[in-house]
C-alpha cells in the first residue's frame, strides 16, 4: 500500500533517507558500546586464562560486532559518497537490506557476548539459557512483532484509534 503524504517522489526519498540515517544512529550507538566492551576484555588478566571455547566465542562476538558496524554504517557512507547523484532510491533499497542484516549481526553479537559472560560466571547451562533468552527477545521484538503488525497481515488496525 503506497504512502500518501502529498510529497513529491524526490521529497519522499529525501525524507526516507533521513529517517533511515536517524534510525541508524540508534543502532550504531549500541554497536559502539558493545564493540568497546569486547575490545577491552582482551586486555584483562582473566581473559588470558579463558578456555579455547571462551576465546572462540569472544572472537565470534567481535567478528559479529565488526560485521554489524560495517553493515549499519554503509548507508551513511553511501549517502555521503553519492550525495546529489540521484541515487537515493538505490541507497534506500540496498541500505534497507544491509540494515536488516546488520541488525541480525548486532543481535547475534549481543547474544554471543551475554552467552560468554554467562559461561564464565555460571557455566554451560547458564550460557545456553541466556543465549536462548536473548535470541527469543530479539527475535520477537525486532522481527516477529513488526511482521505481525504489518498491515498486509490484517491482524492489526492500520489507523490510529478512534
User: Which value, to the nearest 10 degrees, does the dihedral of the CA atoms of residues 14, 16, 19, 21 take?
Assistant: -70
At which residue does the C-alpha cell 554467562 appear?
Answer: 118
pLDDT value, residue 79: 79
Q: What is the mean pLDDT of residues 57-74?
A: 95
pLDDT at 99 over 60: yes
Span 66-83, pLDDT tens digits: 999 999 988 888 878 887
- pTM (2 d.p.): 0.82
Which DSSP string do the residues of 128-156 spell out, in sequence order? Answer: HHHHHHHHHHHIIIIIIHHHHHSGGG-SS
User: What does the longest C-alpha to C-alpha distance in the chain come to?
Assistant: 62
Span 38-47, pLDDT tens digits: 999 999 988 9
Confidence of residue 160 (pLDDT cuts 50, 70, 90): very low
pLDDT at 158 over 60: no
pLDDT at 59 over 90: yes
Q: How crowded is residue 94: how many other Cβ atoms within 10 Å of its Cβ? A: 14
pLDDT value, residue 2: 53
Confidence of residue 95 (pLDDT cuts 50, 70, 90): confident
Q: What value does the mean pLDDT of the chain take? A: 87
Span 138-157, pLDDT tens digits: 999 999 999 999 888 765 55
pLDDT value, residue 13: 79
pLDDT value, residue 14: 78
Beta carbons of 112 and 61 less than 8 angstroms apart: yes
Amino acid at each position: 500500500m503506497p504512502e500518501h503524504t502529498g510529497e513529491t517522489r524526490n521529497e519522499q526519498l529525501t525524507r526516507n533517507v533521513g529517517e533511515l540515517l536517524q534510525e541508524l544512529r540508534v543502532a550504531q550507538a549500541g554497536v559502539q558500546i558493545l564493540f568497546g566492551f569486547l575490545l577491552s576484555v582482551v586486555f584483562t588478566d582473566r581473559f588470558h586464562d579463558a578456555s579455547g571455547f571462551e576465546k572462540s566465542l569472544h572472537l565470534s562476538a567481535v567478528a559479529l560486532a565488526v560485521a554489524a558496524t560495517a553493515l549499519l554504517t554503509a548507508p551513511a557512507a553511501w549517502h555521503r559518497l553519492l550525495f546529489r547523484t540521484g541515487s537515493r532510491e538505490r541507497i534506500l533499497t540496498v541500505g534497507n537490506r544491509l540494515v536488516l542484516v546488520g541488525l541480525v549481526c548486532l543481535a547475534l553479537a549481543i547474544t554471543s557476548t551475554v552467552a560468554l559472560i554467562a559461561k564464565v560466571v555460571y557455566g554451560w547451562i547458564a550460557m545456553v539459557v541466556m543465549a536462548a533468552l536473548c535470541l527469543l527477545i530479539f527475535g520477537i521484538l525486532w522481527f516477529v512483532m513488526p511482521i505481525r503488525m504489518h498491515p498486509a497481515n490484517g491482524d492489526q488496525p492500520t489507523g490510529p484509534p478512534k
